[in-house]
Structure 1
Amino acid sequence: MFKPEMIENEKDFSCSQGHNLPVVTIALDPNISMNQRLLCTECLENTDLGAKVVGLKKIISLIEEGQIKKMEKVQYLVTSQIQLIEQLHCLVDQMKSLAIQQFDQSISILKEWIQSLQQKGQQYRYSFQEELQIMLQKQNKADDQLQFLTYEIQQINHCLTSKLHPKLEQFNTFKGYTKCKELLSNLELSSQKFNKSQLQEQGFQQQPNDEKQVIIKKHEIRLKLIDQSVKQLELCKVIVFDSSGSIMISTQMYDIKVWSFLNGTIKLVKTLQGHTSWIQCLVYSKKQNSFISCSSDETIRCWQQMNQTEWISSQPYQEHTNFVRCIILNQNEDLLFSGSGDKSIKVWRVDFNQNQLTFLYSLDKHNDFVTSLSLNQSENQLVSCACGQNEIIIWERTENDQFKFKYFVKQSIQEYGLKVKFIKDNQFIWITGGKQIDKIYVFELEQGVFQENQDKTIQLTKNEQIFDEYCFPIIYNKERNLIIVRHKTYIYIIREINDGNYKIQDQLNCNTYDIYGAITNNGQYLVYWDDKEQGYSIYELLNQ
């Protein structure tokens, strides 16, 4: 059984009086600070207590019982899904002799699946102090950590289903195929039922699922659908374009696909292989026919075009110790910044001519995995955000051209976000990523510090059912005054109307969670992949 782990060590607790005696009692008074609630034997003798006190062991036990009950829900979900996966394992193993190589690969996927689910359940941790605060104040708030854990389990299921599905499809006439599909369907249904039960516990209401639509009013930009004929069953998480808009790069799980792009139509040119896990981000050079990729395999690669159909990869560069989730280049394209699940930002020297990177130094201040990076136009400041509350950091370039930690940006809400983007030297935007708040917040430089301008906050379509995703970053096209924001099931077209105020011009509801895309550098075309269409949708952005 999964067992939650308390972050703090009981032996490290000390009273506010500095008596150097073990803490034995907790004062249940929500109006005093956390440290003042911790009492040793000498505190009990010398302090006039007006609040109820409870033994430390007792309160630890009560909190631990609550955490165990939460983990029982996750345990039930993981156990039931593992049972279904093990049934899949047995069926695939029976068919193994008919196609040894394909089914051996399928079995490896299933083992990876089980291991990923088990590891996810074992990562659950909680804070004694935070849980005590919730208990004392009798807060009835949504358990974001549990919600995010179940969301990540669903993402694992989605990813591994995408890997397994094409292998099984090759044998759709075999006995046992129908049963495999049934088990995969049951697996998805069990996740949906569990998630629905959690939503009902927290009083969430299902929102209507409108048909996919483009909301077009009397705006300066309208979207015209060009093509949806190119299909791809496997997940695509990233799309980028070269500077001319004639080459499009996308992903297919571990692979990179190179397409020719002409007048809103795409044609596959080449599939590139090298990464050994999901590709998370791509960045294309605006000066050369080269791009850089990063992956869940913890590595970064440079890719250089040799001729119309041939590309070469650099060695895999590994300085991170977890998924590499985001990368950006500076304007001169001699520096690369990479953010990772190891909570760090790495800075690299780039040499596209030699198709290589050189690691320079690390920026380490975040408390959770880094999901988004952006340089201001002067490139003397870097903003980053991580998947946690109050996790926006400003880094400043020093005289020796190295970036150093400046400060955490103060926020008015306790919510995490996954995407941040500088729009001007003195302004950046940040998007909420949780279930409770659906807004874009604008931060502006005031007296040398970035501060939230609440008057400029942009309300997005409310959706309390799902989290946002970081793999479709904010796109800003200065020439056309365009900001493209993907948030939950929507893609928004936003423009500045005056003095740093912004307005949503159009929005496209894709009615699905998995949406990943980009626009051409001239802002003429929007291309995205989504799992509802299971293919690429190409729109032209027209001036009305």
Structure 2
Amino acid sequence: MTQDYYKQKIEQLTETLLDQFESSFNKFENYLDSLINSTDSINSNYQQIAFPSVNVPQTNFENLNFAQQLFREIQPLIKQNVNNQVKHKKKPIYQEQNLQMLGVKQNMTLEFQKLKIEKIQNQMEQKVSDKDVLLQQSNKNKSLLYNQSNSELFETIQTNNQSNFQSFTYQLVSKYSISQNECCRAIAINKDCSIVLAGCGKEIKVFEFKQGFMKQIQILSEHNNDVHTLNFMKKSNQFISGSYQSIIIWQYNQNNLWVTQQILNGHNSWIYCLILNNNEDLIISGGSDNTIKFWTKKNEWTCQQTVKDHFNSVFGLSLNQQQNKVVSCGNDKQILIIEQQRQNKEWIVIQKITVELSTLRVRFIENDMFILSQCGQDQISIFEMNSINKQFTKTKDIVVKCGSDGYCLFPSQYINSKSILLMKNGEYVNLIKKKQNGQYLTEQSIHFGTNVLFGGISDDGEYLITWENKSKEIQLRRYNEQ
């Protein structure tokens, strides 16, 4: 074969290599452009940075000065690519001419490679420089956006805190007062504030309730003695009443009347306190027979268990949020912590706390925290569970107003949506705000001038309804923020 033939082949091979290098370079250049373009997504997405619940994709630009290292890494790859392509070409007939061609080709390739690397280096340095400018601008934008977001977030938190710490009062609406001469020892409001019950002596008066106005629609006379407790169910159209020895389950029938569904007999004296669990398949009752009874429902309600650790009347009961602990208080100056066992579901007394005076009211306000009211005291106490030994101990006292005391009825209530604790103490109804920092502030102490005082508050905290023997009226007070 002639010298011109080999020269032509060398030129063809060189042209092929040039095309391959150009293609590789274009791909590499496009990759660099994609890195630059990725900074745009930072500005568009950074507005989410103030909110940790959102995952913001971020590009790591800590190693932007990687050009020299990249050059060192791609140079042997380029050489290897050239050698591989030469290796797989068909060998010429004459070895000497083949070696000559290879030497010429390698020299051309090296010169071309050198030029291309210089070009790549110059362009990469320019791109890195441009990227640094973009990154500086991006950081500046992020800083501005971060400060703006934090400012908005701070304003939001401040607004929420102001709402949480908003002062309030319950204002008497005199036009809605109802004259009631007979003592009303229990009052309850249903979940949507459409029905009010009042235990007036042996009778239960049912009122239709519309924006504060109460209209009597029915009188229930099944109890033989004074009604002491009333509790609406929230999942069904039923309520429960407690009196002397008996508990009655009431249901709303097709004729729009409340009728007796079942009577529970088990206590042998007065029932002073009664609570329901969230599932409404457990009733817990306590009274002057010194017992706490646990009633469960399958086809009908039956007494599952009786706790007899109190040695005097049981005045107060409360379930924690997890529904696995009950706290009780009573006239024996004892507080019982009763826990449900996981295996056999039996309720076991796990702690007894002795205090100085009779305890009238108790209420869980958190899963492992309850508040206690002792007879005639101008303070209420907070008990919290120690995380190590799992025992409840008193951690603080809250100053309230009281006056003369002696009645255990009118159970305490905690309105979670408003963080309001209602505690009847003697002649006063104290309304206490639980703050986010764990502090408690008595916002209002309503003085009724008598301790013969009973009532209840709606689940949303909008209405407080009371009866006392001084005015002998069922009175309505409405929540009002100041």
Q: State the TM-score bracket (shorter-chain normalisation).
A: 0.5 to 0.7
Q: 1:475 aligns with which of 397, 409, 413?
A: 413
Give the match for residue 396 of structure 1.
Answer: 339
Distance 1:267 1:234 in 2: 17
Give the match for residue 44 of structure 2.
Answer: none
Give the match for residue 261 of structure 2.
Answer: 314
Asked if the contact 1:468–1:487 (Cα under 8 Å) also holds between the matched residues in 2, the reply is no
Distance 2:450 2:274 in 1: 25
- Give TM-score scaled by structure 1 length: 0.56
1:296-334 superposed Cα distances (whole Å, 9 cap, x missing partner): 2x1111000114741111343211111111110000000
Give the match for residue 15 of structure 1.
Answer: none
Correspondences of 1:170-189 after superposition (within 5 Å): none
Q: Percent identity between the aligned chains?
A: 28
Asked if the contact 2:402–2:428 (Cα under 8 Å) also holds between the matched residues in 1, the reply is no
Give the match for residue 361 of structure 2.
Answer: 419
Correspondences of 1:299-448 after superposition (within 5 Å): 299-307=246-254, 309-350=256-297, 356-389=300-333, 391-399=334-342, 400-411=344-355, 414-433=356-375, 435=376, 437-446=377-386, 447=388, 448=390
Asked if 1:223 corresponds to 2:170, the answer is: yes
Asked if the contact 2:242–2:271 (Cα under 8 Å) also holds between the matched residues in 1, the reply is yes
Distance 1:462 1:310 in 2: 40
With over 3 angstroms needed to count, the CA separation of the structure-2 counterparts of 1:462 and 1:517, relative to structure 1, is closer
With over 3 angstroms needed to count, the CA separation of the structure-2 counterparts of 1:499 and 1:381, relative to structure 1, is farther
Correspondences of 1:276-315 after superposition (within 5 Å): 276-296=224-244, 298-307=245-254, 309-315=256-262
What amino acid sits opposite 1:319 in the alignment? G
What amino acid sits opposite 1:477 in the alignment? I
Give the match for residue 255 of structure 1.
Answer: 203
What amino acid sits opposite 1:508 in the alignment? I
Shift of 1:438: 2.4
With over 3 angstroms needed to count, the CA separation of the structure-2 counterparts of 1:293 and 1:268, relative to structure 1, is same
Asked if 1:461 corresponds to 2:401, the answer is: yes
Distance 2:258 2:402 in 1: 43
What amino acid sits opposite 1:480 in the alignment? K
User: What's the secondary structure of 1:237's corresponding residue?
Assistant: strand
Asked if the contact 1:240–1:283 (Cα under 8 Å) also holds between the matched residues in 2, the reply is yes
Q: 2:456 aligns with which of 493, 514, 518?
A: 518
Distance 2:296 2:324 in 1: 17
1:102-155 superposed Cα distances (whole Å, 9 cap, x missing partner): xxxxxxxxxxxxxxxxxxxxxxxxxxxxxxxxxxxxxxxxxxxxxxxxxxxxxx
Query: Bigger radius of gyration, 1 or 2?
Result: 2
Asked if the contact 1:243–1:287 (Cα under 8 Å) also holds between the matched residues in 2, the reply is no
Distance 1:445 1:288 in 2: 34
Give the match for residue 4 of structure 1.
Answer: none
Distance 1:262 1:460 in 2: 32
Asked if the contact 1:410–1:451 (Cα under 8 Å) also holds between the matched residues in 2, the reply is no
Distance 1:307 1:481 in 2: 37
1:491-512 superposed Cα distances (whole Å, 9 cap, x missing partner): 1110112443211001110111
What amino acid sits opposite 2:474 in the alignment? Y
Shift of 1:388: 2.2
> Which segments of structure 1 move beyond 3 Å, counting only runs of 4 or more?
none
What amino acid sits opposite 1:542 in the alignment? N
- Give TM-score scaled by structure 2 length: 0.63
Distance 1:460 1:488 in 2: 10
Distance 1:491 1:346 in 2: 29
Asked if the contact 2:402–2:427 (Cα under 8 Å) also holds between the matched residues in 1, the reply is no
Distance 2:177 2:418 in 1: 28
Shift of 1:418: 0.9
C-alpha root-mean-square deviation of aligned residues, in Å? 1.6
Correspondences of 1:72-111 after superposition (within 5 Å): none
Asked if the contact 2:380–2:398 (Cα under 8 Å) also holds between the matched residues in 1, the reply is yes
Asked if the contact 1:242–1:289 (Cα under 8 Å) also holds between the matched residues in 2, the reply is no
Distance 2:439 2:394 in 1: 13
User: What's the secondary structure of 1:238's corresponding residue?
Assistant: strand
Asked if the contact 2:419–2:435 (Cα under 8 Å) also holds between the matched residues in 1, the reply is no
Shift of 1:528: 0.7
Asked if the contact 1:269–1:309 (Cα under 8 Å) also holds between the matched residues in 2, the reply is no
Asked if the contact 1:525–1:540 (Cα under 8 Å) also holds between the matched residues in 2, the reply is yes
Asked if the contact 1:270–1:309 (Cα under 8 Å) also holds between the matched residues in 2, the reply is no
Give the match for residue 234 of structure 1.
Answer: 182
What amino acid sits opposite 1:490 in the alignment? Y
Asked if the contact 2:310–2:332 (Cα under 8 Å) also holds between the matched residues in 1, the reply is no
Distance 1:468 1:476 in 2: 22
Distance 1:337 1:287 in 2: 17
Distance 2:241 2:184 in 1: 14
What amino acid sits opposite 1:286 in the alignment? K
What amino acid sits opposite 1:442 in the alignment? I
Give the match for residue 47 of structure 2.
Answer: none
Distance 1:462 1:541 in 2: 22
Which range moved further: 316-325 or 272-281? 316-325
Consecutive unaligned residues of structure 2, counting only runs of 5 or more, are: 1-164
Asked if the contact 1:420–1:474 (Cα under 8 Å) also holds between the matched residues in 2, the reply is yes
What amino acid sits opposite 2:315 in the alignment? T
Distance 1:371 1:229 in 2: 29
